[in-house]
Amino acid sequence: MKKLTTSVLVVVLSSTFALVSGQKKDTVKTTEIGEVIMTGAMNRKMKLDAQTSTAAVIGKDKLVQAGAPNAIAALAGKVPGLTINKTSSSVDGTYDIKIRGSRTLTGSTSPLIVIDGVISTMTILQSLPSDAIESTTTLLGLQGAALYGSQGVNGALIVTTKKGSGSRKPRVNFNSNVEFDNVAFTPKRQQKYGQGWYGDRIHVENGSWGPAYSDPAFAGQNVAIGVPFYDVDGDGVISVNPDGDVPTEDAAASVFAPFAPRKKDNAKEFFRTGLNLNNTLSITAGSEGAYAGLTINRQDREFIVADDKLKKTSVMLNGGFKIGNLSLDGSVTYINRSVNSTDPALYTNLLQSAAEVPIVDFRNSPNPYAWTVFYQNPYWTIQNVRNTSKVDILNGTISLGYKINDHISINNNGTAQITSTDILNYNNGYNASQSVPTIVKPDGLPAPNSITSTLAQSNAINRYFYNDLMANFNYDFTKDINFKLTLGYNVQRTESKTTSVGGSGIKIPGIYQYWNLSNLTIPYNLNNRRFTDNRYAFFANMDLSYKDYLFVNATGRYENSSKLLHSDQTQDSKPSYFYYSGGVSFMPLKAFNVESEVVSRFVVKGSHTRVGNDPVTIFGIEDTVVLGQGYPFGSAGPLSFVNNQRPTNTNIRPEKITSDEVSLGLGFLKNRITLDASFYLQTTKDLITNQTTSSASGLQLTAVNVGDIRNKGMEVNLGLTPIKGTDFSWDLNLGWSINRTKVIELADGQDEVNLSTGGIAGIYAVKGEDFPQLKATAYMRDEQGRIIINPDNGNPYISNNYVSFGRVTPNYTLALNTNFKYKNFGLYAVLDYRNGGKIYSGAMAGLAFSGNLEQSADFDRTQGGYVIPNSVYMNSAGQYVENTSIKSGGESYGDLPDYYGSVYSRVGENFILSGTAFRVRELGVSYALSADAARSIGLTGLSFSVYARNPFYKFAKENRGYADPEGSFTTGNIQGLTNANQYPSTRTVGFTTTINF
């Protein structure tokens, strides 16, 4: 397949046979950029430059080149303006996707997913293998997604799966990936002080506040570490001495190790090499009037944490035919995904270990406690804390078209999707009082705590139905003017049912497979709710073209949402709303018949869009009462209903998003050089978010319209083909993007809205400031910015209010994609760079408490604390005086743990880092047999590749592996906050074999 050197269209769509609007889809040839055909919203088929809104198309070659586990991961770094962050790095990782930033505060920021012309879900897209997809089209401009209404308010990803070929002879493709995952980095931890507390070595402590590794009393010695495994002498008691030694009779049951840092990071030692096997078989066939295709994928992944596994099977069958004026397309997809994982909180426990602790030596310990009695043994956690889920997805689509005459056709597109989820989570628990043997601790330290056993089961069924009925009109008013009009009616219905129960105190461990409350001592968390969300819409799309250089598009949609419906509807709150869009694309070179050897492409676009959004919960307006706490098993009695403390305002109005966009496209030297630039301005009014209320009202939060935000940005793409020959070619693409969101107004005189709760750092919307803002507790400073301390104890003063440290989004992002090809060899790379932005590291805060923070070992702990640089104190005359001698953290080693745990750890400012990051995202080499060589062995094609994902990274200097700037613990706008429960990022090395018959 010939590659194009454009920043907007990365790869030409390959030749496929599909039925669109009742007609056979044109065979896509390798052509110049302005002639490439793309499929857009509502089965619209047009030239890329004729689109009046910015879009980016990624073909199948780019999606599969580095063996990405799904299409979402494969898109990272390939489309400027498209941001993909990982919200979970577990065995079944999840993603947060944004197109051009945020247009809402607390509503969904995820783009709409459209697969083969009908609305789908992120879950299905993530479950599809990359090599089942023909192409993805990212609708960056809001006007491109306007026809989808409020569901397209965040842009859209249009996915086209592979269809049957136009060849009568079946074509078979087998693709096999074998991958190995390893931890890329863990937080840097101090290597000077060992296990203990208050300067003493205590071998069951969770901190690194012990003696220095150079201490002559311990240096070079083998010392006992942690809780002994068994009671060797059989007396029923394992005792430990205050000095950390285990009595002789129990010595053989202990772990011993040198009192010195291990050569390899002990947290990294715990993780193993993960294995991922991903195999896809595709069979396609077709003729002039029909086609069929079958894709079967199987993925087996063993995670870097033992016993954490993912098994996924997907089967996709599609086909279509045309008889006279009637055409039919359809597909059926079945996905089965099974995940078995443990509690990721074990990563926090790993990071609390001192540098000499041999974590892997506790793998055979039967105890729930290992090197410390305060945190669970991660190996015990793996065996006794399990989270399992089984998901079955059945998705069917159908497209029926009838051509009435040469100008009028009717289409009906529909889908039905059923998702069944079965979740079982359990913790076997631990009874310390009945444990054998009993562990006797040194005086002053508590005995190990019992661990409460828990069990939770949940079953959910979700049904989604979607249907578009469209009438299409196509007329040539004159030989130069073409008019197309689509009138449609859309109806959607979502039904969900969840039945769940949980509790604590498992009577008989191991019995989890039945819904049997009798195996729980204290049942609770009963849930048996049903939800239904209905919406319908009337829509229209008009395309008007003049010759081949002027294109005009206009859309309108009238939508009704049941989420905004109230039984006592008021004038201000209506369940329906209308929105529209308009755009134009103009090509001056064609318009004025300019032929140039230098300038080969020139296109100017502009659009205006208005869309509504309804980010409120289903039944949120009507949900006036809820079940009381503890019902039906607690003290609330046989039946208890209370007023809903988090209601939705009955007069709530939908958010209104207005977008304006201008873009410019240039091509030089027959498009060997391309330049595309887009500018956009988006304004959201009547923002919906949760507003805190007075405690006297009896309410906690109320969803209301709170204000306005403005989102603006720019994207510039440069495409180059420095070398273009038969045997050797080189093309590259450089994309730059910038986005700013600013809070313009907040309701009721508010200055800010807190989007997160609790902790020493949070995400805020602040009037007049960029959004989202990272705010945290901070040091109090004088007018010169110096830290103010208390001269009596050296403790710094901490601000009463949260202080803003800037937005969490980067200043700008850069992405470079490059491909080399020499004869049958290929080399490719994807690199990206994000500049600036702020992130908060929860892992770093945990290291400060436990004494593992590098900065806490930059001074001699045995001499007490340290003088805070650039600090001052107020003298008796009320003046700030430079501090040169007053230590923070006390005068002895024994003062430091309390200082770092209760003072230093309360200052969120200490754990805020720059989000700057450079990474090589993909790197690979491929080799393909020549056509003659392949045919000589009975094949039509055979290729091999070796690749790596995330092989190299470079963070800001102060970020010593504390947090991946792309990490976030949730989706939406609460980004930039990371915690220690997120597994470390991984680097992957893989091998691919592709066989074509």
791 vs 102: CA distance, rounded Å: 46
Angstrom distance (rounded) from CA 975 to CA 839: 8
For residues 569 and 566, what is the distance between their CA atoms, to the nearest angstrom? Answer: 5
For residue 410, name the pLDDT band (cuts at 50, 70, 90): very high
**Strand intervals (E) in 477-574:** 481-506, 520-546, 550-561
Q: Strand 803-807 vs strand 773-776: parallel, antiparallel, or unpaired? A: antiparallel
Average per-residue pLDDT for the chain:
84
DSSP state of 89: -
| H or E element that contains 714 | strand 701-724
Closest CA to 986 of 220, 162, 180: 180
Q: How confident is the model at residue 239, as a pLDDT?
A: 58
| Burial class of residue 310 in the structure, from the number of CB atoms within 10 Å of its CB (0-12 exposed, 13-18 middle, 19+ buried) | buried
The conformational region for residue 540 under phi > 0 = left, psi -120 to 50 = alpha, else beta, is beta
Q: Give the per-residue pLDDT at 433.
A: 64
pLDDT in tens, 512-543: 554 455 666 666 667 777 888 888 899 999 99
Mean pLDDT (whole number) for 551-570: 75
pLDDT tier for residue 634 given thresholds of 50, 70 and 90: very low
User: What would the pLDDT profile of 87-103 be if each residue is shown by its tens digit?
Assistant: 777 888 878 889 998 88
3-state helix, strand, coil in the chain (%, to 5): 15, 50, 40
Interstrand relation of 761-766 and 773-776 (parallel, antiparallel or unpaired)? antiparallel
Neighbouring CB atoms inside 10 A of 171's CB total 17
Reference 644, options 705, 693, 574; nearest CA is 693
pLDDT for residue 259 is more than 50: yes
CB distance 258 to 222 below 8 Å: yes
Whole-number percent of the chain with pLDDT over 90? 55
Rg (CA), the chain: 31
- Taking CA atoms, 907 is separated from 320, 758, 778, 798, 941, in Å, by 63, 14, 5, 7, 61
Angle 265-267-273 from CA coordinates, rounded to 5°: 95
**What is the per-residue pLDDT for 612?**
80
Q: Is residue 626 over pLDDT 80?
A: no
Indicate if the pLDDT at residue 3 is higher than 50.
no
- DSSP state string for 715-757: EEEEEEEEEE-SSEEEEEEEEEEEEEEEEEEEGGG-SEEESS-
CA distance to 90, 859, 987, per residue, from 183 (Å) = 12, 30, 6
DSSP string, 379-421: HHHHHHEEEEEEEEEEEEEEEEEEE-SSSEEEEEEEEEEEEEE
From 192, 170, 79, select the one nearest 832 (Cα to Cα): 79
Tell which residue, 696, 684, 556, 550, has the closest CA to residue 615.
Answer: 684
Task: Give the Cα separation of 888 and 789 in Å (integer).
Answer: 8
Contact status, residue 851 vs residue 926, Cβ threshold 8 Å: no
Judge whether 653 and 572 are in contact, CB under 8 Å. Answer: yes
Q: Does a cis peptide bond (omega within 30 degrees of 0) precede residue 722?
A: no
Give residue-wise pLDDT tens across range 751-796. 888 888 678 999 998 999 999 999 999 999 999 999 999 999 999 9
Beta carbons of 351 and 430 less than 8 angstroms apart: no
pLDDT band at 252 (very low <50, low <70, confident <90, very high): low
Tokens of 997: 């018959």
* Pair 189, 354: CB distance under 8 Å: no
Q: For residue 617, is pLDDT > 80?
A: no
Which of 653, 713, 717, 644 has its CA nearest to residue 685?
653
Least confident range from 54-58, 561-565, 892-896: namely: 561-565
Q: How many helices (H) and strands (E) does the chain have?
A: 10, 50
How many degrees, rounded to 5, is the angle at CA 710 between CA 705 and CA 714?
150
Give the tens place of pLDDT for each residue, 328-348. 999 999 999 999 999 999 999
The answer, as to whether pTM is greater than 0.95, is: no
Mean pLDDT over 291-315 rounds to: 94
Q: Which two tokens stand for residue 819?
A: 């491909």
Go through 935-970 and write b for each residue having 16 or more CB atoms within 10 A of its CB, e for each that does not. eeeeeebbbebebbbbbebebbeebbbbbbbbbbee
**Alpha-carbon span 553 to 537, nearest angstrom:** 19
In sequence order, what DSSP letters do the residues of 852-887 get, joined into one string? --GGGGSS-GGG--BPPTTEEEE-TTS-EEE-SSPP
**How do beta strands 94-99 and 803-807 pair?**
unpaired
Q: Return the pLDDT at 503.
A: 80
Q: What pLDDT was estimated at residue 575?
A: 65
Asked if 871 contacts 786 with a C-beta cutoff of 8 angstroms, the reply is yes
Q: How far apart are CA 141 and CA 129, in angstroms?
A: 27
Q: Is 444 helix (H, G, I), strand (E, B) or coil?
A: coil
218-227, 327-336, 376-385: which has the minimum mean pLDDT? 218-227
First-last CA distance in the chain? 18
Tens of pLDDT, residues 916-963: 999 999 999 999 999 999 999 999 999 999 999 999 999 999 999 999
Q: For the chain, what percent of residues have pLDDT higher than 70?
A: 82
- Tens of pLDDT, residue by residue over 669-723, are 999 999 999 999 999 988 777 665 544 555 556 667 778 999 999 999 999 999 9
Q: pLDDT value at position 633? A: 47
